[in-house]
Amino acid sequence: MRQQKKITLSGTMPIFLILMMACGPRPDIAFNASVLKSPLTGRCDPATNLQSPFTNEVQTLRLVAYPHTEGDVVAMEGPVGESITLDNLSIGETYGLSLFGKNASGDDIWRGSTNNIVTQESQTTNVKILLGRIRDLSCARTVEQEARAFHTATTLNDGSVLIVGGATTMAATNSCSGCKSLTATATVSLFDPGTGAFSTVAQMAQGRMFHAATRLSNGSVLITGGASSATINPNEPFPLVPENGAMLSAIELYDPATGTITNLGEDPGGPRVFHAATTLSSGRVIISGGVQSVVSPFNLSNATSSTTLCDEVSLVCQTGPVMQQARAGHSTFELASGLTFVWGGAVGTSYQMERLDQNASAFSLLTVAAMSASRNLFFAATAAYNDNRLLAAGGLVRNNDGSFELATADYYSTARGPLYVYVPEHGTAGGISVGNTQTADPPPFAILGPVFMGQATPIGDGSRVMITGGFGSLDLTPVAHMALFDESQLSVFEPANDVGALMLSQERGGHTAVNLGTGQLLFTGGVSTLAGGNGIELTATSTIYTDEKEVLP
């Protein structure tokens, strides 16, 4: 038997495990976890440490191995600081691992998970698990190197998260009354979900914000569009205005195997901001719509209907089919059916959704049941969940005169923001669900307040979606709202723990939220509020939410 090693808890909250493989005549396998007490330090935001001390709460650790195929779940527990060994495991089996921290009463209050751990005889495999407090917000181990907003976060095939670009400086400017200038960064960072740490991995040719980053099936990430500089102009109908000449048409590719970025050439559709991009099962990415130039007043009236198709094998990008409607601030998703849908952001008189055929050769308008002009949302928080549902929460509505206003929930007071679910199998073109309209308190399909540029992220088994943050006004006042949509109950809840309702650790708009695949969500960056509420600033902080429901293989 190999000598067992102790691995020390370091930094804020990563737990390192060693997967110990027995050698010799017995083909035994064991997971060995040894964690020593260490104070957890660090702040979730510049002013408040929301993270409860691990060492004051956790008395016992419980390690559980779940086989992906047939076999028994194996579990063992022991005091913090002593090793925990699991045996009776199968050689060549793939396991999911969960590590629980239990308090003096025996309750599971901290948890971390990892997946796809393959047991191999006579070999040692390092396993990293990041613990977070259940139904609570915890700090990532390190803050980002740069403050960011209007960036992207893309989960890679190995579970790490690629953070691309974003506005990294915000400063007062004399170019217009009450305006602020934004400058984008070219930095690309990587978040390790096992250690909770960020690291810089690459630099793009130019800084980008308002861009798109789309993972290909081979694990690479296609980076499209964006602007290198912009102005926050509260005098315009839409307040985020790219600088003339700052919009980008270059398409770049990040390769996680080499950590390098390659320029693939120019988008044949030209520069774009506020566009959408999604990966198709055919191995192509479709880039659609967006704004290509700045006009006055800036109200997205010159959005484009053009699309670009990029092939992940040849890495060639060509002009794609034209959408039926010019769009910006919209969303596109391919569902399990293989059909791709486009929702929102239509600047013309037709507000219906569109569908791309399976050959990616043509778009068609859909006469969706219960769709209306007020549901033609711009910059809503959107997510595909349960393989065949689309959710949109919050967003802006564009009036006929080109002005914008925050969308509000149907049938309720304007104090609530909308939440809609598109059900594609309802009728020939699908329908929009708004919940039980006879229920007024609490509203079944509504979020805490009207917002735009929030985030919607599936969590757990995929039947729930967390909606977070966004801007509560057109002058970019960020909010700290959290709302959890649960399809099994056809309702929206405020996530809560024993203390009360949960809010983000600080206000965030223009932030990112991604599912780490472990029952945890990662929130990064965004525009936040200055101490005392006197203005806004960019933030480099990141927090992790640990769900109460465990993700099993």
> Is 85 a domain residue?
yes
As a dihedral over the C-alpha atoms of residue 129, residue 152, residue 537, residue 139, rounded to 10 degrees, the angle is -10
Contacts of 207 (CB under 8 A, 6+ apart): 165, 168, 183, 184, 185, 186, 228, 229
User: What amino acid occupies position 485?
Assistant: F
Instruction: Assign residue 99 the CATH number of its domain.
Output: 2.60.40.10
Residue 525: the pLDDT is: 94
Residue 442: the pLDDT is: 58
DSSP conformation letters of 441-508: SS-SSEESS--BS-EEEEETTTTEEEEE--BSSTT--BB--EEEEETTTTEEE--B-SS-B---SS-B
> Is 29 a domain residue?
yes
> Is 95 a domain residue?
yes
What tokens were used for 518? Answer: 């472990």
User: What amino acid occupies position 263?
Assistant: N
The range of the structural domain enclosing residue 111 comes to 14-134
Residue 441: the pLDDT is: 60
Is the predicted pLDDT of residue 401 greater than 80, yes or no?
Answer: yes
Give pLDDT tens digits for 228-238.
999 999 999 99
According to DSSP, the residues that pair with 200 across neighbouring strands are 189
> Is 50 a domain residue?
yes
Burial class (CB in 10 A: 0-12, 13-18, 19+), 76: middle
- Say if pTM beats, i.e. exceeds, 0.75: yes
Give pLDDT tens digits for 336-375.
888 899 999 999 888 999 999 989 999 999 999 999 999 9
> Is 281 a domain residue?
no
Percentage of the chain with pLDDT > 70? Answer: 85
Give pLDDT tens digits for 297-332.
999 999 999 999 999 999 999 999 999 999 999 999
Q: How many domains does the chain have?
A: 1
Residue 115: the pLDDT is: 86
Give pLDDT tens digits for 419-449.
999 999 876 789 998 877 665 565 678 999 9
Residue 55: the pLDDT is: 61
How many other β-carbons are positioned within 10 Å of the β-carbon of residue 181? Answer: 18
According to DSSP, the residues that pair with 289 across neighbouring strands are none
Q: What is the mean pLDDT of residues 127-151?
A: 82
Helix, coil or strand: residue 189: strand
> Is 267 a domain residue?
no
> Is 23 a domain residue?
yes
> Is 435 a domain residue?
no
Which of 259-263, 386-390, 391-395, 532-536 shows the lowest per-residue confidence on average (mean pLDDT)? 532-536
